[in-house]
Amino acid sequence: MKLLNFTIIRLTVLLIIGIILGYYVEVSTSLSIVLSLGFLCLTLLCYVVTEQHFKQSIWFGLAVYFSMISVGILTVTLHNQKKFKNHYSNYISEDLNDLHTVTFRIREILKPGNYYDKYVIDIFKIDDTKASGKTLLNIQKDMISKPLRVDAVFTIRTDFKNLIHPLNPGQFDYKNYLKKKYIYHQLFVDAQLLLPHHQNSTTLFGLANTVRTHVNTKLQPYNFKPDELAIINALLLGQRQNISEDVYTNYANAGAIHILAVSGLHVGIMLLILSFMLKPLERFKHGKALKIILLVLLLWGFAIIAGLSASVTRAVTMFSIVAIGMNLNRPTNIYNTLAISVLVILLVKPLFLFDVGFQLSYLAVLAIVTIDPLLYKLWQPKHWVLDKYWHTFTITLAAQFGIIPVSLYYFHQFPGLFFISNMVIIPLLGVILAFGILVIILAVLNILPNILASIFGNSISLMNNFVRWVSHQDAFLFQDIPFNLLYVVAFYFIIIASFKWFYKKSYNNLRYALIAIIILQCSYIHTEYAKPKHQFIVFHKSRHSLIGHLTNDAIHYAHDFDSTTNLNTTIIKDFTVKKHLKSKKLNTITNTYHLNKTPILIVDSLGVYTVKTFKPDYVLLRQSPKINLNRLIDALQPKVIIADGSNYKSYLERWEAICKKRKLPFHQTSKKGAFILNY
């Protein structure tokens, strides 16, 4: 079956191309509107001409293609909140030094950090001017203040801060992640300084949060353990903020992290349960139509309660289409259903395309419907139980084929025992979800027996313990796997070509398989060739120094970490994975480095340096040396001054002012990130 023969699939692919172009190529709103209208008019004209002559035309096809691409560009442009005239960024200074009176509403509660509670907020007003837009709110933790509730409105006098870009190569780009959610700045405030507004309106997000809070309040008397309650919230309410780091890591290492995200499996089970419960409506006149409407409304109600994440939205959109087709007795093609759901979601939320959960979710479903039938045919067990477990295994394996390249690209690890955790959990997940729905309903109605709550809590704990056991089989967990975008493309070529050859052994399919192997080889050669050969790196680490010297596919690094800091720091690991390095070696920090003809001097807390015998091009200041920087510059005449994260803030400000006055480049790693010198 050639997927691209389906019109809706081709249109969806073209929309995706347009969204990618619209995101990476800056296009004005007026130009994107003109392009879209122009190509749509051209499409209509070509259609009229084609119909009059009763023949197909290549021009009509090209006009449709360019129309969909332009619509994708327009969708990204129209959703870019920064282009709105009343966006708050138009009312704040570029250097962000000014204080503003900001009125805002709590939109979403995020997972708290070590020092701050975090929220996404909607801005209403900047000073006396109405404004719009989202930003990140950080409230310093204390023992007195209570968490803010969704839809609460506050006013605060504060300044905006830029989001922090990754300070070291290979680190997660949180700034870019938030940009795709239209969040460009952040606020740091003290809870005691927030001025609350008592006249609050209720939004869908606030209503959903109220429902979740009410459910949790009703569950509290039954003494569920914190990890049990966190899993209940994740499985049934779509909220993962309270899952502990250990539990989350266990599920990730066991290859069962998808269990914690409400997705197609969860929504499919919900659809079956709701469809069974509403089946009596079919006996009445227009009962089938009413059933469809109620099914769709209930599914979207669940999606809203679960927070409208990318995976939930995808699943509910797809199953809404399935529910309509199922109850109208209309045959539906799964590929068309997937394409329609993608099309609808991306027209409403175009940047969902870049959401990792969205990508993994669709790739998994696509792989299951394409590859699973081929794997399942390999063996047909006669025993019912054995057949179900075999089918569960083939579905799990097919899903892994679909997501493993993208998963390796984002997470750089592969859980070798994924099939064991999925073979045990997935068959029981339907029972756990049905049981959980019953528990929540009974708890809300205040008629939940303690014995039932205890059984459900113990079943959650049993699942957590099993996942922890699987995750601790370290020999089967493959971590720190270097994997770039070229490898993703090459591996998908390999997977597609391999299964085409497996399905039909022909000359053409063999040719595709060989081409895929050549593409993989070219990707490997390009990756090896593009690797940096010689680099000197001053990494940023707050209160410490970390220096790397890259040569011959290995990094020699030195630091002044204590044992705890050394254990919890992943800077070097992230760097080696990103750069595809094969080895790393620990050295001690020296006072001088000679990189070909590039001398580097390191001045530490002792403040000792030699003037007569050494004239460095670069000077690194670490551990807050008490030196006269003007005298050092006059004596050594360096080209660049570098200051890492081990220095006091007051020293950094003074050094920066001196270098600015003398027009000498000053690289502060806490602002500009790691200093990288290629030689």
H or E stretch covering 261: none
Whole-angstrom distance, CA of residue 115 vs CA of residue 41: 55
Segment 368-392 mean pLDDT:
86
pLDDT-based confidence at residue 679 (cuts at 50, 70, 90):
confident
Q: Which of 2.120.10, 2.40.50, 1.20.5, 3.10.20 would CATH assign to domain 88-201? A: 2.40.50
- pLDDT the model gives residue 48: 77
Q: What is the pLDDT of residue 525?
A: 93
384-411 vs 418-444: helix crossing angle, rounded to 10: 100
- Rounded-to-integer distance, Cα 294 and Cα 291, Å: 5
Gap between the Cα atoms of 141 and 372, Å rounded: 49
In this predicted structure, the answer to whether residue 2 has a pLDDT above a threshold of 50 is no
User: What mean pLDDT is predicted for residues 247-252?
Assistant: 88
Tokens of 167: 């300070």
| Structure confidence by residue, pLDDT tens digits, 152-163 | 999 999 999 999
Give 586-621 pLDDT, tens digit per residue. Answer: 888 888 888 888 889 999 988 888 766 678 899 999
Q: How confident is the model at residue 4, as a pLDDT?
A: 45
The model's pLDDT over 512-527, given as tens digits with 9 standing for 90+, comes to: 999 999 999 999 999 9
Radius of gyration in angstroms for the set of CA atoms belonging to the chain, rounded to a whole number: 29
The CA-based angle 313-210-310, given to 5 degrees, is 15
Q: How far apart (Å, rounded) are the C-alpha atoms in residues 521 and 253?
A: 29
Q: Identify which of 65, 79, 61 has the alpha carbon closest to the alpha carbon of residue 23.
A: 79
> 318 with 343: CB under 8 angstroms?
no
| Per-residue model confidence as pLDDT tens digits over 327-348 | 666 656 778 888 888 898 899 8
Which ranges of 145-284 does DSSP label H, i.e. alpha helix? 174-179, 204-219, 226-237, 245-253, 264-277
* Domain spans of the chain, in order of start: 3-79, 88-201, 355-415, 485-530, 534-678
- Mean pLDDT across the stretch 11-30? 91
Answer with the residue of higher pLDDT: 92 or 46. 92
Structure tokens at 277: 């419960």
Q: Count other Cβ atoms within 10 Å, centred on residue 632.
A: 21
What value does the mean pLDDT take over residues 194-212?
82
Smallest CA-to-CA distance from 629 within 651, 600, 601, 613 is with 651
pLDDT (average), residues 177-181: 91
**pLDDT for the residue 3:** 43
Residue carrying structure tokens 């994740």 = 234
Average confidence (pLDDT) over 9-24: 92
Q: What is the pLDDT of residue 523?
A: 94
Helices in 558-609 by DSSP H: which ranges? 563-568, 571-579
Please give the pLDDT value at position 128: 86
Structure tokens at 93: 């200074």
Say if CB 580 and CB 602 are below 8 A apart: no
Please tell me the predicted confidence (pLDDT) of residue 295: 83
Residue pLDDT, tens place only, 280-323: 887 877 777 788 888 888 888 888 887 777 677 777 887 787 77
Band the pLDDT of 77: cuts 50, 70, 90: very high
79-128 pLDDT per residue, tens: 988 888 899 998 888 777 788 999 999 998 888 888 889 999 999 999 88
CA 14/CA 18 separation, integer angstroms: 6
Average pLDDT value for residue range 625-635: 91
Does residue 65 have a pLDDT over 50? yes
DSSP-derived 3-state class of residue 676:
strand
Q: How many CB atoms are located within 10 Å of the residue 73 CB? A: 26
CA distance 378 to 387: 12
Q: What letter does residue 86 receive in the DSSP assignment?
A: T
Strands 414-415, 618-621: pairing kind = unpaired
pLDDT score for 526: 92
Say yes or no to pLDDT of 253 above 50: yes
Residue 382 per-residue DSSP state: S
Reply yes or no on whether the pLDDT at 272 is more than 80. no
The pTM (predicted TM-score) of the whole model is 0.86
The overall average pLDDT reported for the chain is 86
Flag whether pLDDT at 1 surpasses 50. Answer: no
